[in-house]
Amino acid sequence: MSNRKYFGTDGIRGKVGEYPITPDFALKLGWAAGRVLAKDGVKKVLIGKDTRISGYMLESALEAGFASAGVAAAFTGPMPTPAIAYLTRTFRADAGVVISASHNPFYDNGIKFFSTEGRKLDDAIELEIEAELEKQIDCVESKQLGRASRITDAAGRYIEFCKSTFDHDLSLSGLKIVVDCANGATYHIAPKVLRELGAKVIKIGCEPDGVNINENCGATDVKALTKTVLEEKADLGFALDGDGDRIIMVDHKGNRIDGDLIIYIIAREALRQGQLKGGVVGTLMSNMGLEIALKNLGIPFVRAKVGDRYVLEMLVEKNWRLGAENSGHVLLLDKTTTGDGIVAGLQVLAAMIRNNMSLAELCQGMTMLPQILINVRYTGNPLANAAVKSAIEQAETQLGNEGRVLIRKSGTEPLIRVMVEGSNHSQVQKLAEQIANAVKASN
């Protein structure tokens, strides 16, 4: 990714109003992407967005850019990222575009692309788009301009798709589920999916106003969900992020169930059903407890770099189906082409019903090792700082073979992510704080 100027691990992202998340850049990006994609015969793209107020501005600018390159754009309105991947395929569109900054605050936004197969664009194509961005914008002849249209039944189509991934012999009847949609793109999707499959649904985080997306709610903050699950004596809770490609769950006792536990449940159930193909792909951040639990089941496990695009690449390379990040990105390639929080949650529910077990009971068999993650905002290059290097080396020496230290830059925010994992919680906490303090001091 180091040779890219704009694209990160998850598209182009930044603060609204600051380059490159500006209307003039979005206009040129639409033109540049249209120029590159048109070389392969692309004439129609789908454009979806989450609920951020800036989405209206950016979708208009993108559409104008695509039109100037001779590419038609069809708008879906607020829709989850995985919905755009699905709809791009079903509408036989040549590409899909999502305007979202996922789990980030409302004042951030981003733009990412899907191929006609519903997968993120190849690195080579993103580099071609970046090359076009360096050129002077022009316009096709008037009769070749792209047209704009709106898809009115996008939500209904995606709801039916989500339901189709849930075994038709099963029902959610009798289950009380709290769903937190982070005031994001799933607010009009997830509750309907669960309700139409038979569940009693309690909604929170389903009143987007353009600025409350991910604010004290959703997959990045499950306190409100946990409180509601316990108060309502619900069977479990779903927490989705702003664009719906992540899920964190809460069991009836209020325990947080992250992506590692979710993929463990799904992989074990696939093994039980005789449907497991290959193994599981995690990331460098995946808890060692997941690796140990899968090994005990005889399920192969490998780690990819952090980022769902790298998990996907590894799955394709190995021809496996199941992968996840502990942050809640869960990839089920036998169901869909990208991370989908709703679809992943439905597979966990199916395992609960088939085995007549609660979510808490399904998590038994995997013991999470203490893992501390501290995010530190940075300037400059703290990873080259001598004090930071020394703190990392000291932590690695103390942990020995019974733990791990992982320090990395976020691909979507100006953050250094400090992760320390080991068997002793207090030791892990202390070492993570020492490294984080060294990073802060280096700014």
Question: What length is written for the chain?
Answer: 443
Residues 392 and 420: beta-carbon distance below 8 Å: no
For the residues 204-229, what does the mean pLDDT come to?
98
Amino acid letter for position 168: H
Residue 324 C-alpha from the chain's centroid: 10
pLDDT exceeds cutoff 90 at 437: yes
Residues 94 and 146: beta-carbon distance below 8 Å: no
- Other beta carbons within 10 Å of 389: 14
Q: Which of 2-6, 8-12, 66-70, 408-412 has the highest mean pLDDT?
A: 66-70
For the residues 328-350, what does the mean pLDDT come to?
97
Buried b (16+ CB within 10 A) or exposed e, 282-314: bbebbbbbbbebbeebebebbbbbbbbbbbbbb
CA–CA distance, 158 with 187 (Å, rounded to integer): 13
* pLDDT at residue number 123: 85
By DSSP bridging, strand 256-257 and strand 403-409 are unpaired
Model confidence at 37, pLDDT cuts 50, 70, 90, reads confident
CA–CA distance, 414 with 375 (Å, rounded to integer): 10
pLDDT in tens, 218-251: 999 999 999 999 999 999 999 999 999 999 999 9
CA–CA distance, 148 with 264 (Å, rounded to integer): 43
CA–CA distance, 222 with 103 (Å, rounded to integer): 13
Residue 40 C-alpha from the chain's centroid: 28
Amino acid letter for position 66: F
Q: Which residues, at least 6 apart from 394, have a Cβ–Cβ distance to it below 8 Å?
A: 431, 434
Model confidence at 2, pLDDT cuts 50, 70, 90, reads low
pLDDT exceeds cutoff 90 at 414: no
For the residues 26-51, what does the mean pLDDT come to?
91
Q: Per the structure block, which two tokens stand in for 53?
A: 């107020």
Give percent of the chain above pLDDT 90.
90
For the residues 41-64, what does the mean pLDDT come to?
94
Model confidence at 41, pLDDT cuts 50, 70, 90, reads low
For the residues 329-348, what does the mean pLDDT come to?
97
The residues that are catalytic are 102
* pLDDT at residue number 42: 66
pLDDT exceeds cutoff 80 at 206: yes
Phi, psi of 226 (to 5 degrees): -60, -45
* pLDDT at residue number 8: 84
pLDDT exceeds cutoff 90 at 307: no
Give percent of the chain above pLDDT 70.
99
